[in-house]
Chains A and B, each alone.
Chain A
Amino acid sequence: MAICLGIIQIVEEKVHERSSSRVRSICLEMGALSHAAPEAIRFCFAAAATRTVAEGAALNIVELPGVAWCMSCSKSVEIARRGECCPCCGSYHLQVTAGEQMRVKELEID
């Protein structure tokens, strides 16, 4: 929920800057290893957006993969969530290198 409020805060700021009044769509970028699942964001967004400039806006979420460096096989591998082992060698010695982002990428406004 706090994350949804954060999204709306950013949207409101931008909309005021451009003296617009309606947001058609919001595009987010969410990493697989970020703190919020896309389903959870979709679920609470409508409620959080009620009576704000973001009410009724479409929410597009671009999901990005989780990437980690495997210290055992010395290469970059994809993981779907934290606590998973390396898909190549089964080691848990992984250092997350990408897929933690939660960003507002772009808006479509009138």
Chain B
Amino acid sequence: MSPRCSWLYRLPGRALLGGIRTLPTTRCPGLHRSLTSSAHPPQICIVGSGPAGFYTAQHLLRHHTQAVVDIYEKLPVPFGLVRFGVAPDHPEVKNVINTFTQTAHSERCTFLGNVTVGRDVTIEELQTAYHAVVLSYGAEDKRLLGIPGENLPGVYSARDFVGWYNGLPDNRHLSPDFSAETAVILGQGNVALDIARILLSPIDLLKKTDITQTALDALSNSRIRKVWLVGRRGPLQVAFTIKELREMIILPGTRPANNPSDYQNLGDFIKDLPRPRKRLTELLVKAALEKPGEKEALRRSQSDREWGLRFLRSPVAVLPSEDGKKAAGIRLSVTRLEGNGENAVAVPTGETEDIPCGLILSSIGYKSVPISSSVPFLHKNGIIPNSMGRVQDAPGLYCSGWVKRGPTGVIATTMTDSFDTAQSLLEDIKSGALNYSENRLGASAIRELLLLRGIQPVSFSDWEKIDAVEAARGAEVGKPREKILDPEEMLQLVCR
């Protein structure tokens, strides 16, 4: 048995079935399910097929021998930010897709793509068809800067820009302007570093990734040579992690351009920091202050692109070009810190500084949106109010992932919190708090509704057809895949 298939066989129920998959689950789910369970199984649906959706499903399927878990996804393709967020030059992060695929292959799991919950089918309809509904629909929107000029051409949100280079259908026409020499990224998180890498990486490296051809063509003609990453707080408050910083420091063809004075007085603080922050700060200091070895010095001198971190600068306005038609710079308010450590707050000093630039990327975070007026939502924090994944005052409703916690945390964090939510649901089944004695029709009821509404759900085997076409197109040009950008084209492929 290949090691990659192993945990699949740990799914209760799957083991009994061995490798025989006679019934395509997506076509006649009811028939098969009635064979595996005696009473009515708990019918659970999950909204969203990112890491939160798949890890919640995985835990439910592993720890309940009969539960049926259907995953609804707005796009025709699964995996959420693993496909549309994770940087193309980080293929190893996308290995989680193998585990998700095994979950989707479980006889008790059905993927229904191309179904936007809240539009094509309502939460109330899902609640009628299922015993429990888990909301795992992520953080689809972006935080806004709320400053004058934010809407000028030349200013893009990280969300849209990342969506563009990763083939998110909504962002395929973005066409960012790479005609200037300097780009400014606002924010100092891992997304900001992802973007800096994409802007500065040698094109030959990107060519071997699954970045879209459109992005590759545009980046091949890019004139961007300098990227500033601007933070409103100091070097001790950067939000990115050390692995990503290390990668940036050694990025071929680029050299770091940091201001030594930003780092000179950090020595005293470093020793008392917790280990992760300590090592991160040490690396920042080393990159800025330590004289590079001969080889590294040579590499840096031969690099024609550079990047640097700017601290204690908070954006106040985008400066328009003379004709007012596009961005030509950014005005930053100089700040100082009140308090220290992680909780230090940036306050304006009254001084400002202008940086001329033709490209501005606002990478200050993602944001979740309410899905229905019937689901409670905390606008201030951008999350669904919940306790251990149980939606507040809404029995039978659960949530996991970024919509539960807010838009921070790596896939491993999302995994843990999704397991927690699944655990709460399982406890409720066990305690009787979640009653499933009454039969629910699950996917078959929803399919009927969708049929009436002219919506064609995409099954997991349909996705595998799309996947195969993308992989084949990629192979022709030496890439792991060439993503299809137009959802219509995806749907045509599966209708054949």
A and B associate? no
